[in-house]
Amino acid sequence: MRKPLKLKNRIYIAASASVAGRDEAAGPLGGLFDVTDTEGNRFGEDTWEKAESAMQRMATDEALRRAGYRADEIDALFAGDLLDQCVGSNYAHSGSGIPYLGLYGACSTAAEGMILAALACEAGLGVCAAVTSSHFCTAERQFRFPLEYGGQRTPTSQWTVTGAGAFILSRERRGGGVLPRITEVMAGRIVDRGISDLSNMGAAMAPAAADTLLRYFGAGADPSDFDLIITGDLGREGTDILLDLCAASDLDIAPRHADCGLMIYDGCSDKHAGGSGCGCSAAVMAADVLVKVREGALKNVLFLGTGALMSPVTVNQGSTIPGIAHLVRIAGEEG
């Protein structure tokens, strides 16, 4: 995938579903999520890790129900999250009976899953699922401090979204109306521009997003082909840098650009530079963007899943933070 890959087959996002936590449900997109826990984000479980798995399961079940497929009709499921060994996903789908492939792409996993599911459909599978999640409470423990630890966040830090999204991709078109189709995919390259500040992930990921966009638009497309160019979780800081980097290469995406991390919370000071995490782009795409494609309000969407690929160990060892951005082109197709 050195160049964007145009899919030969018609591959539809038959349905999508989203799950979100308390603060996300209270945000600007609050009314759009399919399942929410407005109490304490435990989703009926006794540990945060189980809660995250429950979110993935709920999102998957709801998406399957909407698409009209049973679990035993799914050929493969691609899932990932932020935890060590991807346990959020592993435990979510144990017992589902669906052939399972675990992924780690940090916050870019929603796009990575969509790309791989689309390629699997392109290769001949009938129905595939892509599912991702993140949970503030598990991510804090994984990457930062205990929840009750008293510390201050810097203005560039981002807030891990408690959310999950599931996408059912199929070769077959069921029902009329507008359906989102994945028409083109391109995997990102790992870009490390020397950022080592864990609380400035936007700056670490923005060059990767710029790299993917420049590669994509260098291959022929034009930003004006799109109603929306949406990045996963660059936040305030990363968004401004991305627009700077694109402008420096004479690529003007500003009028069409949006960032899931900036859409999910309102300007509340606690969230600082915006949302992040696998669940951020997954929940926003499932609850908002894809719904708008189905309604016909958006026709051509370029989705860039952005991710920061470090671990707490490498950061302690002084390594800088590599970023990545995967690209998925989505078009609404009338039935």
Partner 1 sequence: MNADNKTYARYAEKRAKKSPVLQNCARAFTVGGIICCAGHALRVLWSAAGLSEDDSGMMASVTLILVAVLLTGFGKFDEIAKFAGAGTLVPITGFANAVASTAIEARSEGLVTGVGAKLFTVAGPVIVYGVSAGAIYGAVYFVLTKLF
Partner 2 sequence: MEYLFAFVVGGAFCALAQILIDKTRLSPARILTAYVVAGVILGGVGLYGPLVGIAGGGASTPLTGFGYLIAEGTKKAVDSDGAVGILKGGITAAAGGITAALLLGMLASLVFRSKMK
- Which chain residues interact with partner 2 by CB under 8 A? 21-22, 40-42, 48, 136-137, 140, 146-148, 151-152, 162, 197
Q: Minimum distance between the CB of residue 100 and partner 1, rounded to whole angstroms?
A: 25
Q: Which is nearer to partner 1, 48 or 136 (CB)?
A: 48
- The item of partner 1, partner 2, none sharing an interface with residue 176, based on CB under 5 to 8 Å by kind, is none
Taking CA 321 as the corner, what is the angle to CA 184 and CA 154, rounded to the nearest 5 degrees? 110
User: Contact 128/117 with Cβ under 8 angstroms?
Assistant: yes
Structure tokens at 144: 């930062």
- The item of partner 2, partner 1, none sharing an interface with residue 41, based on CB under 5 to 8 Å by kind, is partner 2
- The item of partner 2, partner 1, none sharing an interface with residue 21, based on CB under 5 to 8 Å by kind, is partner 2
- The item of partner 2, partner 1, none sharing an interface with residue 300, based on CB under 5 to 8 Å by kind, is none
User: Contact 144/199 with Cβ under 8 angstroms?
Assistant: no
- Helix, strand or coil, per DSSP, at residue 155: coil
Residue matched to tokens 């109490």: 39
- The item of partner 2, partner 1, none sharing an interface with residue 22, based on CB under 5 to 8 Å by kind, is partner 2
43 phi/psi in degrees, rounded to 5 = 45, 40
Q: Which is nearer to partner 1, 151 or 267 (CB)?
A: 151
- The item of partner 2, partner 1, none sharing an interface with residue 216, based on CB under 5 to 8 Å by kind, is none
Q: Which is nearer to partner 2, 148 or 222 (CB)?
A: 148
Binding residues vs partner 1 (CB under 8 A): 46-49, 141, 145-156, 192-197, 200, 203, 207, 236-237, 240-241, 273, 320
User: Contact 108/326 with Cβ under 8 angstroms?
Assistant: yes
Q: Minimum distance between the CB of residue 219 and partner 2, rounded to whole angstroms?
A: 39
Q: Which is nearer to partner 1, 90 or 156 (CB)?
A: 156
Q: Which amino acid is at 15?
A: A
Q: Which is nearer to partner 2, 44 or 146 (CB)?
A: 146
C-alpha distance from residue 173 to each of 14, 44, 182, 194, 198 (Å) = 7, 35, 13, 45, 43
Rounded Cα gap, residues 327 and 304, in angstroms: 5
Spatial CA neighbour of 39 closest among 49, 51, 57: 51
User: Contact 306/205 with Cβ under 8 angstroms?
Assistant: yes
Structure tokens at 7: 């899919």
Q: Which is nearer to partner 2, 86 or 198 (CB)?
A: 198
Q: Minimum distance between the CB of residue 203 and partner 1, rounded to whole angstroms?
A: 4
Rounded Cα gap, residues 130 and 180, in angstroms: 15
Q: Minimum distance between the CB of residue 91 and partner 2, rounded to whole angstroms?
A: 20
Q: Minimum distance between the CB of residue 133 and partner 1, rounded to whole angstroms?
A: 18
